[in-house]
């Protein structure tokens, strides 16, 4: 059987922390159906978007450090975003990657080019230390525009709370 391509966008600095454990519970049952490409945001060191508007004319970013992630975004059929919650949001290295997709927003709105005409699926995984359930709604709301831009429908979300107690 031909396996589908899944991109794992990983937001934790920890190799074996709470987020990785939650991620493995999701990816293990999918191993027969998908190949996984991992983008480890803390190792990537992606430059933040500077809103320089280069992409509004050129349809590409002036910083070349995103090219391999761009290729993975375009080719994957499933995006799994797995992250810890930092200050009710995303860790900065993951946020930098999310912000760099402004390239696609500008391509779509200014250049009328949509690289994501094919539908994708998405899985959202987030872990957080507190019992504050509002984290879940906030994370969902913040990630919604990103998934929408990539034409990805969230088919599953996994939230693990109270990790400070574990
Ligand atoms: C800088 C920082 C900010 C955090 N902010 C929050 C927060 O706003 N709400 C919360 O419930 N937990 C917060 N946490 C706790 C983490 O979300 C929690 O420990 C998470 O499960 C860590 O996952 P990991 O083991 O994969 O790194 C924060 C932790 C750090 C280091």
For residue range 75-133, what is the model confidence (pLDDT) as tens digits?
Answer: 999 999 999 999 999 999 999 999 999 999 999 999 999 999 999 999 999 999 999 99
Total number of domains constituting the chain: 1
Give the model's confidence band at 162: pLDDT under 50 very low, under 70 low, under 90 confident, else very high: very high
pLDDT for 33-75, tens place per residue?
A: 999 999 999 999 999 999 999 999 999 999 999 999 999 999 9
Residues 6+ apart with CB under 8 A from 126: 19, 82, 83, 84, 85, 135, 136, 139, 157, 158, 159, 160
Instruction: Please name the residue ranges forming H helices in 16-53.
Output: 18-27, 41-44
Give, using CA atoms, the residue closest to atom 17 of ligand 1: 128
Task: List, in sequence order, every beta strand (DSSP E) within 47-111.
Answer: 78-84
For the chain, give the percent of residues with pLDDT over 70: 100
What's the gap in Å between 161 CA and the centre of ligand 1?
10
Q: Give me the domain span that covers residue 113.
A: 4-165
Looking up residue 146, the CATH number of its domain turns out to be 3.40.50.360
Are the C-beta atoms of 135 and 126 separated by less than 8 Å? yes
What's the gap in Å between 84 CA and the centre of ligand 1?
5
What's the gap in Å between 128 CA and the centre of ligand 1?
5
pTM for the full model? 0.98
Q: Which atom of ligand 1 is nearest the CA belonging to 164?
A: 19
What's the gap in Å between 85 CA and the centre of ligand 1?
5
Residue 70 CA, distance from chain mean position: 12
Give, using CA atoms, the residue closest to atom 1 of ligand 1: 86
């Amino acid at each position: 059987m031909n396996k589908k391509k899944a991109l794992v966008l990983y937001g934790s600095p920890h190799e074996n922390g709470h987020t990785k454990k939650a991620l493995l519970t999701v990816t293990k049952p999918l191993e027969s159906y998908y190949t996984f490409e991992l983008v480890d945001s803390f190792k990537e060191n992606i430059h933040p978007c500077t809103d320089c508007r280069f992409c509004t004319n050129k349809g590409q970013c002036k910083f070349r450090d995103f090219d391999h992630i761009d290729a993975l975004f375009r080719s994957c059929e499933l995006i799994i975003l797995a992250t810890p919650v930092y200050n009710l949001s995303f860790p900065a290295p993951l946020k930098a990657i999310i912000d760099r997709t402004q390239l696609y927003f500008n391509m779509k709105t200014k250049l009328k080019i949509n690289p994501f005409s094919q539908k994708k699926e998405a899985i959202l995984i987030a872990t957080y230390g507190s019992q504050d359930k509002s984290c879940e709604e906030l994370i969902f709301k913040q990630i919604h525009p990103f998934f929408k831009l990539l034409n990805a429908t969230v088919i599953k979300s996994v939230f693990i709370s109270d990790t400070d107690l574990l």
